[in-house]
Chains A and B, each alone.
Chain A
């Protein structure tokens, strides 16, 4: 019973996700919202605002600092969970 319910829910939410891709802008469309004002803003002003020549690094660690902080904590969680699940030692 719960298996059928699970399959139904997965199908429903999967169909919802596939349905939502119809509204995506086409691949590499120069007129999509992110390419119109977000990317040019970072590319033009990253040197004068952060002094970092590499735009990828400045976006990763400065403009999108929250994202990288929680990426790091995801890695932290993965490491701790593997230790908790697998390690069978009294003395480390």
Chain B
């Protein structure tokens, strides 16, 4: 499949990359390419310029608390230093071949996905175009018709849930300087806006809190096949045990809406009076109610919602007897 023409820029360091970003007014970043290139092959919002970060060496730090944006998912999944929950989550992403190219930053910035969007140009012509791209046609949203203000494409990156559960901080940089924020605040509705990145800005790295090593966790992913498939729903949970008691609990979801969901408030409430299975059930119901998937991925939304409850329960299973 042929991509639209664009010029590829390959700066060797971050400074050059950011400078280039300042110069070019209409461009995309590309890291591993496993998200951007299929989208370009489908002619989804292509830009005339693409800046590759492949040669930028500054973004590949990897330790227990620092994860560079250009760390490959494969390396993350096999790293001995990374947090076990991050490793576990990374190992479920797509297939091993995709993981060898894909990067942490790319996964975090994954474009939202939708059955009516992730199709060829010819296909989209047959539905009279899609709201998320081909916008000059003023196409309506095909998922929820008769409204063309909101894009409901689904955010299907696994790592986000784990990062939120571990209370990570995301670090951005642009020509104007660097900034950081709690991971969950990085995302912004709707499916087209996706996140707070400004033009010319990129994700440099993610940091975990110093005591992250004291947190354990689990990631549960709903997908038909144990490889390739994006999460139809994903639940990450992380908890801290002190003296046999849960002193911290965070839960996050992904793959259900246009942005990942942070359910830590629910979780914090739940641990005040923790009663094992019952608390888990209650929390799982809460998570289910908090999330409203739409019909634009493989599984129907009602099923995905119901499964959130099961996935949450399973993620929290180690806490059943506390």
A binds B: no
Q: Which residues of A contact B (CB under 8 A)?
A: none
